[in-house]
Amino acid sequence: MGTNEKAEFASQYSLPTPGSDSPSFTRKPYRFSTLCATVENPNSSHKDQHGSSSVPIYQTATFKGIGGEYDYTRSGNPTRTHLEHHIAKISSAQHAFAVSSGMAALDVITRLLKPGSEVIAGDDIYGGTNRLLTYLRTHMGVTVHHIDTTKPSTVLPVLNPGKTAMVLLETPTNPLLKIVDIAGISSMVKEKCPDAIIVVDNTMMSPYLQRPLEHGADIVYDSATKYLSGHHDLMAGVITCNRDDLAQQMAFTINAVGNALTPFDSFLLLRGTKTLAIRMDRQQSTSLLVAQMLQKLGFVVHYPGLPDHPGREIHERIADGYGAVLSFETGDKELSERIVGATRLWGISVSFGCVNSLISMPCVMSHASIDPATRAERGLPEDLIRLCVGIEDPADLLDDLRHALVEANAITLAANDFVRIPTVVNKAAEKLALSEPRVERRNLEVAQEWFVSAPGKVILFGEHAVVHGVTALAASVDLRCYGLTTPRYDNKISAHFANISNFYHEWDIDSLPWDVVTAVLPGDVHPEALDQKLLDAINERALPPADRMPPKSQPAALAFLYLYMALSHGNQRPAFNFSIRSTLPVGAGLGSSAAFSACIATTILLLYKRITAPRPPAPTRPPTKNEPGHLHTSHDGRRAIPQGTAEEINRWAYVSEQVLHGNPSGVDNSVVVYGGALSYTKPGFGKKSGMDKVHGFKSLKFLLVDSKIGRNTKQLVANVAQKKMEEPEAVAKMFDAIQSISDEARLALDDPEMPREQLLNALAAYITENHEYLVRMGVSHETLETIRAKCNAYNLSTKLTGAGGGGCAVTLVPDDFSDNDLKSLINDLAGANFDPYLTSVGGSGLGILSPYNRSPLNAGEPVNGSVTPPETPTDEVNGELAPKSLREHFISIKAEDLNQWADARGQWMFV
C-alpha cells in the first residue's frame, strides 16, 4: 500500500503507547512484525480485569446475563473476538472471521452463491478447493469455469454479466507457483461484471507477504492451519473483507452453521501469529537457497524468487516476499518417489506452513482428489515434488536434500561438484519433446485405437409423457452400436457412418470454425443450451451442402463435430478416423441415435483424456498362441467403468442428443450408458426427479419390429406439447394415467415374490393400456397399427416405443409362446415388408475395449491385462513402423457377424 494508506491503516488500528508525541518528533506507524507481536483490542469491554499479558481463554459455551455482548460461544466469544480483531489489523481489513478450517472458510464464502451462478477459478488450485467446486457444480446448479487465471485474456471470454458471481484466485498457485495479477484481474472483472465478488486464497503468502484487499479483492481467506499458526497444532481458517454487506452475510452463515473457531484454538492461533513475521523471514530466505541449488542442478524449478520465474514482476508489485513454498520437476515419477522417500529432515506431509520442513508429491497426495485426466489437462506434472521450507538451519536442509538426490540416483558427485545423472536428463528431455510441436503431440496422444459400444433401448412405458415430467421405464436391448477410432497423421479427422447411407467425410482440422468455439474446459459442465453460433458455423462452414448429404447424415455429422470442437481447448486437437456401425435399425425408435451419441462422446472424451478407464484384472487363465489375452465378460460388475466416468459420458451423450433431437428427455442416453432397466423422471416439474435402477428387472423376451417408416421426432414431441396447450385438462389426465402405469409396472418388476406368469400378464395389460393413451396423443400411425393387428392375432400385446413413434413396435413374448407360432409371426411380418428382431432386454450398458496388451503374448506366461489406452501394435511399412489397425476389418465384417467379432476383440469394461 502507499504511504498515505499505510498511515491511515496504522491510525485506524493504532496501539496504545506510553507518553505523548512531541510536536517535533511524531511517532511512526508500527511495522508489520510489531503489529503481529502486539495483541490489543481498543474496546474497553475486552480488557482483562487482571491485566494478563496473554489473552485469556474463555473456555465456556454460554455466558450469564441478559443483553450482554456474549451469550453463546457459537455466536461470539471474547477470545475469538481478540483473534478476529488481530487478524483484521494485520490484513488491512475492516472485518475478520475465524472458523474451523481453511475449507470451512471457503464453504462460508461460497454460500454467497445461488443456483445458476457462475464461478471462475484457476486451473492450478488446491485439491480441496477443486473438490468443493465440483460438489457445487454437480449438486447446487453452480457453473464453474477452470481457466488459466494468470492470463487476463483467458478470463475475459468467460465473464458473463449478470451470471458471473465470483472469481476465485490463488497467487502464487498451488503447487506450480503461477502468478496472478490480483489488481489487473479485479479491475477487469469489476468493469464487465460489477456485481462479481473477487475472492483470493492467500494461504501461500499469509498477510505478512501479501494483502489482497489492498489490490482490489473483496474477500480474502487463509488456511490458518498453515503460516498464521505455524506449528501444525491446530486447524483454523480466517476470512477478511472490507465490505459491510458481505461481512453481514458471512457472519450470519457462521452463526447459523456453527463452524466458528473454538476458544482454545483461537488462543493457539493468537499465539502463533505473534511469530509470523520472524518465522517467514527465515523460511523464505532458506527457500531461495533451496531453489537456487535445484535450478543449478538442472531441475525445472517453480519459485517466484528466481529471476526467470514467469510473472515475477507482477508478484513483486503485489507482494512483499517470495514465500516458503517451491516445487520442482524431475522428469520421472518413479525418480520423484525415490527422492521423497530418501529425505530425513523433510517430513512427508500434504500440508505446508509449519516450522518443520515438509516434502510431498501433489499428484499422489494433496491433489490426488483431482482425477488424472484433469490433472493432465491442467498441466500438473505427475513427477512434481513440492517443498515447504521450515525454520531449520539452511545448511542442514540443503545437505539432507542433496543426500536424498544422490540416494535416489538423481545426481552424482563429479569434479568436486554435484551434477545431474545423464539418464535423468534424457528422460526430462524426452518428456519435454512430447509437448512440442503441436502436430507431433496430436499424433502421440492418439496413436492408439479405442473401441467402444453402446446398446439400444426400448421405452416400455412413458413415451412422450416423459418429456413432460412423467416417469418412464426403459431398458437396454441386446442390439448395439460399435464405434472405433484410429489415428491419423495428416492433421485431419474423418467420420464414417456405415449405417447412414455409408456416409464418409474428411475435415482438415485447422479449417474448422475454431474462431466461434467457446470450449468447455476440463471440470466444467456444458451449459443447458447448445452453442447456437457453433452449430451455425459448423453447418455453414464445415458440412457439405445439404443436398449432397444422405438423409440423417447431416445431424449425425453435426453432433460429431460439435462434441469434437466443444471439448477441445488449447492446442489439443487430435487427428483420427471415427467409424461407427450398428446392429440396431437406424431411425426405428430403438435408441440408435442415443447409442451413436454415447459412442462419439466416449471416444472423443478418451482422445482428449477427459476420462480414463480402469486397468482390467488379468484373465483367469493364461493365453495361448491361438487365443487373445483377454476374455469377454458380461455385465457382472467385475470390470466396471468408474461411476464418475460414466456420468461424464452420459452428460456429453445428452449434449449430442440435444444436437440430434432438440429437447430430449435424457432417458435414452441414460439407458444406453448405464444399461439394465431404469426408471427415469425428468427434472423441472416440481417432484422428485432422477434415475433409478430397476433392480428387480427380470429377463424378458421381446419382438422388435421396424416398420421402416421414419418419423420426425422433434415434430412429434412438438405436437404433443401443442396438444397439451390446447387441451390441458385432457392431456394432464392422460399423463396421470401413464404415470400410474409406470408406477404399477415398476412395483411389479421389483416384486421378487410375484409369480412369473402373473408378472407377464400384468406387463401385457400395461403395454396395451399405455399404447391406447399414445394413440389418443396422436403419436401412432397406420403402419404401426397394422403391426399391432398382426401381433394381436396371436394374443400378444404390442405398443410403439421411442419418441419417434412410427419407427418401431415392441411386442412382449411370453415364456410359453410356441416356437412355431413365433416363426409364423416373424414370417408374416417379414412378408409384409417389416423387419422383425427377436431379442432380450436389460443387458450391459456402455462398453470400452482395450484390444491390445502392452507386452507380447507368450504362451504359458501370465498376462497383466489391458491398459488404458493400449499401445497399438505396429507393422513395418517402407522400413518404418506404422500402426496396425482394426479399422479395415471393422468396416468389412458382415453385419450379422459384428456382435461376435466385437466380442472376440478383447476384454470389455462395462458401466
Q: Which of 42, 170, 45 is nearest to 102 (CA)?
A: 170
Q: Which of 461, 349, 474 is nearest to 741 (CA)?
A: 461
CA distance 31 to 278: 12
**DSSP string covering 778-841:** T---HHHHHHHHHHHTTT--EEE-STT-SSEEEEEE-TT--HHHHHHHHHHHHHTT-EEEEEEE
3-state secondary structure of 198: strand
From 58, 70, 126, 680, the catalytic residue:
126
- Measured in degrees and rounded to the nearest 5, phi and psi for residue 326 equal -145, 165
CA 327 to mean position of chain CA atoms: 25
- Residue pair 122/169 in contact (Cβ under 8 Å)? The answer is yes
First and final C-alpha spacing in the chain:
56
417 given a catalytic annotation: no
CA distance 130 to 137: 10
From 226, 488, 552, 682, the catalytic residue:
226
Most distant CA pair in the chain: distance in Å?
Answer: 116
CA distance 713 to 508: 32
- Residue pair 480/456 in contact (Cβ under 8 Å)? The answer is yes
- Residue pair 343/369 in contact (Cβ under 8 Å)? The answer is no
Q: Which long-range contacts (CB under 8 A, 24 or more apart) does 532-538 make?
A: 534/562, 534/565, 534/566, 535/562, 535/659, 537/513, 538/512, 538/513, 538/562, 538/565
- Residue pair 353/317 in contact (Cβ under 8 Å)? The answer is no
Please report, as a single letter, which amino acid is at residue 726: E
Q: Give residues with Cβ within 8 angstroms of 452, minimum separation 6.
A: 482, 483, 484, 598, 599, 602, 603, 606, 846, 847, 848, 849
From 123, 181, 201, 400, the catalytic residue:
201
3-state secondary structure of 848: strand
From 6, 30, 71, 74, the catalytic residue:
74
271 given a catalytic annotation: no
Where does residue 340 rank: exposed (0-12), middle (13-18), buried (19+ CB within 10 A)?
buried
- The cell 451423450 sits on which residue? 653
Q: Compute the chain's Rg from CA coordinates.
A: 33
3-state secondary structure of 7: helix
CA distance 498 to 553: 10
Cis peptide before 42 (omega within 30 of 0): no
- Residue pair 372/379 in contact (Cβ under 8 Å)? The answer is no
Q: Which of 31, 397, 390, 367 is nearest to 227 (CA)?
A: 390
Please report, as a single letter, which amino acid is at residue 849: L
CA distance 1 to 747: 69
CA distance 624 to 633: 18
How many residues comprise the chain? 911
- Cα separation values, 164 from 119, 186, 378, Å: 6, 13, 22
- Residue pair 457/676 in contact (Cβ under 8 Å)? The answer is no
3-state secondary structure of 167: strand
Where does residue 77 rank: exposed (0-12), middle (13-18), buried (19+ CB within 10 A)?
buried
CA distance 486 to 78: 68
- The angle formed by the CA atoms of residues 436, 441 and 446, to the nearest 5 degrees, is 170
457 given a catalytic annotation: no
201 given a catalytic annotation: yes
Active site residues: 74, 126, 201, 226
